[in-house]
Amino acid sequence: MIGTGTVEMDGRERRRLPPGVRPLFGDGGEGRTLSVELPAGSVVWPDPTYLRFPSAVRGRPAFWLSEAPATGSLYARLRAEHSRSGLWPVLLEESVQPWSVGQIAPDAAAEIDNYNVGAFMEEVWADWVQRASEDQIEILDPFGPLCPGPAEPTELVEPGGTRPDPGAVADWYAATLAEQGMPVGLAAVDRGADALAVMGWQGALHHNEWNVPLAAVVRSWEDRFGARLVCMGFNTLELSVAAPPTTAHHAVHVAAEHWAFCPDAIIQGAGTLQDYAEQLRGRHTWSFWWD
């Protein structure tokens, strides 16, 4: 196990961040604490041949990775302390590659601020429509060639509804996924969505292989639907969702966002936006895969 020191905060004694994760922060994690005892693990440095912008690494590792599979309980305890530790937990599929060998392309979280979700959605939509046949465009009914833009938050569409705690839903989903036996990664980020960029995930194959715009979309889903990034794979993402759409009209609008984010989920899955929307209604997990 990794040892820790202690600091005094609010009249209580808390343990400093373990030495093994302090290099993730530019200031060494000064003032941050973690009461969870971490299992054996180590930081992951990006392979220089995978970097788009070498300066983006800034002399720091991308994330910390546990050696052994994590339990749902460990995930929940780490997530609960994110506000104090600054470390967001992410379960990682296919741990040998790309994670442990550094086949990643990290970017600074600040880059995410440069992207507008609506503009990204419109760009993807217009590009695909330009190349699509008339039959293919029918997949996007009822919107067709006209991008509808981002959907309203669930609570605005369905006033009076109750939203489960996003953290509790994330813990529930993590416990389910952890049964598959996956290690946990820890990213030094202010919010979970930023881990996509900071950890250097490159899984949107043949779509938008730059992770930063996609991180901006997940940030927006955090705010509008209580989504939380729970798991990443080589070309997959798993999100928990506290406030999914529950009406047919809202669900098809959210489905349009999912199509722009991950066309394969619809084109090689349900087949049409409307069929996919039926799968989204009331569903507290969103799964994405790129081929």
**pLDDT score, position 10:** 45
Average pLDDT of the segment spanning 121-133: 91
Q: Are 53 and 153 a contacting pair, CB within 8 Å?
A: no
**pLDDT score, position 11:** 38
- Beta-ladder partners of 23: none
- Considering the chain, what is the average pLDDT of its residues? 89
**pLDDT score, position 13:** 46
Strands (E), 10-114: 12-15, 41-44, 63-66, 87-92
pLDDT tens figures, 275-290? 999 999 999 999 999 9
**pLDDT score, position 49:** 78
Q: Is the pLDDT of residue 40 over 70?
A: yes
Q: How confident is the model at residue 102 (pLDDT cuts 50, 70, 90)?
A: confident
**pLDDT score, position 209:** 61
Q: How confident is the model at residue 110 (pLDDT cuts 50, 70, 90)?
A: very high
Show the CA angle centred on residue 79, arms to residues 76 and 83, nearest 5°.
145
Q: Is the pLDDT of residue 2 over 60?
A: no
The domain locations on the chain are: 6-289
User: Out of 117-126, 137-146, 205-214, 254-263, which region has the weakest mean confidence (pLDDT)?
Assistant: 205-214
Average pLDDT of the segment spanning 44-73: 82
